[in-house]
Amino acid sequence: MSSMETRWATPLFTAIAPAAWGSSYFVTAQYLPPDRPFFAAAVRALPVGLLMLAATRQLPRGAWWWKSLVLGTLNIGAFFPLIFLAGYHLPGGLAATLTATSPIAVLLIAWALVAERPALLSLVGAAVGITGVALLVLQGGMSVDAVGVAASLGAVAISSLGYVLVKRWQPPVGLLTFTAWQLIAGGLMLVPVAAVIEGAPPQLDARALGGFAYICLVGTALAYVAWFTGLKRMPAGSVALIGLLNPVVGMLIGVALAGEAFGRVQLLGMTLVLGGVLAGQPAIQQAIARWHLAPPWSSASADLHHHGVGLGVGVGVDDTELVHARDAGLDERREGATLNGHGDRELAPRPAFEPLHLQDLAVAHRIGAGQVDLVERAD
């Protein structure tokens, strides 16, 4: 395999995840038994969680038993049924775009609950994204169901709260193991709830079985593996940008296969939502800060490259403020200096590692909503 093919292999494999999540809304509406969100959520969560646990063979310890139960209830037990409810009541493109606003919700919830003050550009992005949502919901010209909108926004709020708790508690295991715990906890909670609220399981024909097979094997198992592979091999910011494919795929499939409306208003609303999410990404903010610090044509930039020091992705101190290596108090020959793909040294001050690690967790556990956000969920 050539170097070019190797370079693109991981991003393309990672893109399977948001593409699968974006297509799940169409599959839900067209193939699954109607109006069975709790049953569908249980079928999606429990079998895949058990398979993951069988692969990882690691159980929670100590306080992580009850923490896994809490997070499984939020991120799976409540989130999954709301996602299916949105898929039943909304056009797939609209549902995917609404859930893609989760990074904005995380930003606001973290500000309110744990006093994480967002950067100005993040607040501007949040305002732009909310404007896009309002355009889609109020002026989109599509058939908009209030129950579906409430389900989508509720899923965003719940998954965002779950992410904030993940960030505070910091799980002691890998993402695959941690996700297995949550899937099993949420799935076990969903089984009795589905039985009480929805009654006996519905009869499944070949069409429904195919739909569930796709949701479980492709939309959950393969999607998680692809997403976590990206997290291991790529910067968190790059993975988050790939996550923007979720609403794009949802909208394209809806228009092409389900005949959903897509005009100028929908395009503007979707653009505002994605633009708002992009503006809140640390990688984007770092790039802007780096540009202001040392534009490519400036003497400062030339001096950095002359000394073999690159201020690349991940070199951040105090949020998005970028500094020269000497200002960070680092010797490029010591720990913290790494080589990027171009052979330039990238200096990552130790304080920058923790937020980057949390972003990786975030991207992984945002796995349900658009899963854009540097947050840690997937759909």
Phi, psi (rounded to 5 degrees) for 366:
-85, 15
pLDDT tens string 80-113: 999 999 999 999 888 988 988 888 888 888 888 8
Do 276 and 293 belong to one domain?
no
Residue after which a domain boundary falls, among 232, 253, 281: 281
b/e code 315-330 from CB counts within 10 Å (16+ = b) = bbbebbebbbbeebeb
Do 160 and 297 belong to one domain?
no
* CA distance from start to end of the chain: 31
Phi-psi region of 62 (alpha: psi -120 to 50; beta: other; left: phi over 0): left
Do 251 and 294 belong to one domain?
no
Do 270 and 302 belong to one domain?
no
Do 165 and 222 belong to one domain?
yes
Do 65 and 200 belong to one domain?
yes
b/e code 80-96 from CB counts within 10 Å (16+ = b) = bbbbbbbbbbbbbbbbb
**Taking the model in full, what pTM does it have?**
0.73
* Dist. CA 49–CA 40, nearest whole Å: 14
Structure tokens at 95: 């549902």
Q: What percentage of the chain exceeds 90 in pLDDT?
A: 41
Query: What's the domain count of the chain?
Result: 2
* Dist. CA 73–CA 185, nearest whole Å: 7
Query: What residues are paired with 345 via a beta bridge?
Result: 309, 339
pLDDT surpassing 70 at residue 309: no
Do 337 and 257 belong to one domain?
no
In a domain, 333, yes or no: yes
Do 246 and 324 belong to one domain?
no
Residue after which a domain boundary falls, among 261, 281, 301: 281
* The residue type at 156: V
Residue after which a domain boundary falls, among 281, 315, 342: 281
In a domain, 3, yes or no: no
Do 162 and 16 belong to one domain?
yes
In a domain, 368, yes or no: no
Do 130 and 225 belong to one domain?
yes
Domain that holds residue 312: 287-356
Do 130 and 101 belong to one domain?
yes
CA–CA distance from 326 to each of 113, 140, 322, 347 (Å)?
A: 36, 52, 12, 10
Of the candidates 122, 73, 47, the residue with the CA atom closest to the CA atom of residue 281: 122
Do 133 and 210 belong to one domain?
yes
CA–CA distance from 232 to each of 91, 175, 228, 312, 364 (Å)?
A: 33, 10, 6, 18, 10
| pLDDT for the residue 139 | 63
pLDDT tens string 32-77: 999 999 999 999 999 999 999 999 999 999 999 999 999 999 999 9
